[in-house]
């Protein structure tokens, strides 16, 4: 894949696999974005077996100056596809989009403007509406009337686990590199690493995207949670100054595991017992209301 003749300001990295029913809407919502800068859309198809690749090729043919496809010759899995696509980005800022979600007008401009205006901000997310399997769009619960943005630190990300939808994220290319734990990684761990030395912002004046419920990660089992717990263990081992945040986050997962009788209960209990402190319990109680407000 060749470098664009003119480096774009923003690279949008789209990850897709067997999403022929959704990828067209996703890509159309991106090429339709109105901006005062150049941007590219890199689409990583993880060796789909349905019609996804044909749709991606159509967009690449119609928008050769914007859409750059990467067709994996074999299925690499989510992490492998992610690394390949994000590693191919040439933009100063990099946005992530899952192929079953889509953008709303103004997304790229609003996020790039915030990063331009706030050099200490490494990551910016935005509120998203949720599309139910029935076709009903549920308005975002993250929208704050009278507030344009909320600010977060690396410690906040560890404590809250999830601040916003992964498809709402844009970050500086300068914080792209990270060292993954041997257990693998999730977008949670990526964001923790990317917030080192800077902050994060959530645009909450309105929704700038739509995420689908009931498919993809939203319908996955407990494998993602196992990796997240392993990531928390890794943080506890390598950055003990975040012990209270790790314990507070683990308590949140533990209570959920108890309620659901989840197979990750033993893992979350062991991690909580190894990290718990009075300070961690106090932190969890102080942040309980904010956790509720961060729900999509």
The pLDDT assigned to 155 comes to: 98
The pLDDT assigned to 218 comes to: 41
Q: Is the pLDDT of residue 29 over 50?
A: yes
- Neighbour-count burial of 119, counting CB atoms closer than 10 A to its CB (0-12 exposed, 13-18 middle, 19+ buried): exposed
Mean pLDDT computed over 77-100: 94
Q: CB-based contacts of 245: which residues, under 8 Å, 6+ apart? A: 155, 158, 159, 280, 283
Residue 148 structure tokens: 């344009």
Q: Is the pLDDT of residue 144 over 70?
A: yes
The residue behind tokens 């995420």 is 211
The pLDDT assigned to 133 comes to: 92
Instruction: Choose among 127, 130, 152: nearest CA to 205.
Output: 127
Confidence of residue 146 (pLDDT cuts 50, 70, 90): confident
Instruction: Choose among 11, 253, 245, 207: nearest CA to 104.
Output: 207
Rounded to an integer, what distance in angstroms lies between the CA atom of residue 112 and that of residue 107? 9
The pLDDT assigned to 221 comes to: 58
Rounded to an integer, what distance in angstroms lies between the CA atom of residue 63 and that of residue 70? 15
Please tell me which residue, 120 or 177, carries the higher pLDDT value.
120
Residue 127 has phi, psi (to 5 degrees) of -65, 145
Confidence of residue 248 (pLDDT cuts 50, 70, 90): very high
Rounded to an integer, what distance in angstroms lies between the CA atom of residue 114 and that of residue 95? 13
Residue 186 structure tokens: 């999730």
Residue 226 and residue 265 in contact, taking contact as beta carbons nearer than 8 Å:
no
Rounded to 10 deg, the angle between the 223-238 and 265-275 helix axes is: 20
Q: Are strands 39-45 and 10-16 parallel, antiparallel or unpaired?
A: parallel
Min mean pLDDT across 20-34, 124-138, 279-293 is at: 279-293
In the chain, which ranges are E strands?
Answer: 10-16, 39-45, 67-71, 93-98, 102-103, 121-131, 137-138, 149-152, 170-172, 199-212
pLDDT, tens digit, 9 for 90 and up, residues 186-198: 899 999 999 999 9
Average pLDDT of the chain is: 93
The pLDDT assigned to 22 comes to: 97
Residue 108 and residue 24 in contact, taking contact as beta carbons nearer than 8 Å:
no
What are the angstrom distances between the C-alpha of 253 and each of 146, 160, 180, 281? 32, 10, 21, 14
pLDDT, tens digit, 9 for 90 and up, residues 194-246: 999 999 999 999 999 999 997 654 444 578 899 999 999 999 999 999 999 99
Q: Is the pLDDT of residue 2 over 80?
A: no
For the chain, give the percent of residues with pLDDT over 90: 84
pTM across the whole model: 0.93
Residue 177 structure tokens: 């590199």
The pLDDT assigned to 219 comes to: 42
CATH (residue range 10-218): 3.90.550.10
Q: Is the pLDDT of residue 3 over 80?
A: no
Q: Is the pLDDT of residue 274 over 60?
A: yes
Q: Is 65 helix (H, G, I), strand (E, B) or coil?
A: coil
Q: Are strands 67-71 and 39-45 parallel, antiparallel or unpaired?
A: parallel
The pLDDT assigned to 293 comes to: 81
Q: Domain-by-domain residue ranges, the chain?
A: 10-218, 221-293
pLDDT, tens digit, 9 for 90 and up, residues 37-65: 999 999 999 999 999 999 999 999 999 99
In 24-169, which ranges are E strands?
Answer: 39-45, 67-71, 93-98, 102-103, 121-131, 137-138, 149-152
């Amino acid at each position: 894949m060749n470098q664009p003749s003119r480096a774009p300001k923003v690279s949008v990295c789209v990850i897709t696999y067997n999403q022929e029913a959704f990828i067209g809407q996703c890509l159309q919502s991106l090429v339709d974005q109105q901006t005062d800068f150049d941007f590219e859309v890199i689409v990583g198809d993880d060796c789909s077996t349905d019609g996804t690749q044909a749709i991606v090729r159509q967009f690449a043919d119609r928008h050769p100056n914007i859409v750059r496809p990467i067709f994996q010759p074999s299925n690499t899995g989510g992490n492998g596809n992610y690394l390949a696509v994000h590693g191919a980005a040439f933009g100063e800022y990099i946005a992530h989009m899952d192929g079953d979600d889509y953008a709303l007008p103004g997304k790229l401009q609003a996020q790039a403007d915030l990063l331009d205006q706030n050099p200490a901000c490494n990551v910016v997310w935005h509120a998203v509406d949720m599309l139910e399997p029935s076709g009903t769009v549920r308005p975002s619960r993250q929208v704050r009337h009278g507030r344009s943005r909320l600010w977060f630190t690396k410690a906040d990300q560890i404590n809250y686990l999830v601040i916003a939808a992964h498809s709402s994220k844009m970050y500086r290319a300068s914080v792209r590199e990270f060292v993954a734990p041997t257990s693998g990684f999730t977008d949670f761990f990526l964001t923790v690493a990317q917030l080192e030395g800077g902050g994060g912002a959530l645009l909450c004046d309105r929704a700038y995207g739509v995420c689908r419920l009931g498919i993809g990660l939203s319908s996955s089992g407990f494998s993602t949670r196992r990796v997240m717990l392993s990531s928390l263990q890794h943080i506890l081992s390598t950055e003990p100054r975040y012990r209270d945040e790790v314990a507070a986050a683990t308590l949140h997962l533990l209570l959920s595991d108890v309620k659901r009788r989840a197979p990750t209960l033993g893992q979350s209990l062991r991690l909580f017992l190894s990290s718990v402190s009075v300070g961690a319990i106090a932190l969890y109680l102080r942040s309980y209301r904010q956790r509720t407000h961060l729900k999509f």
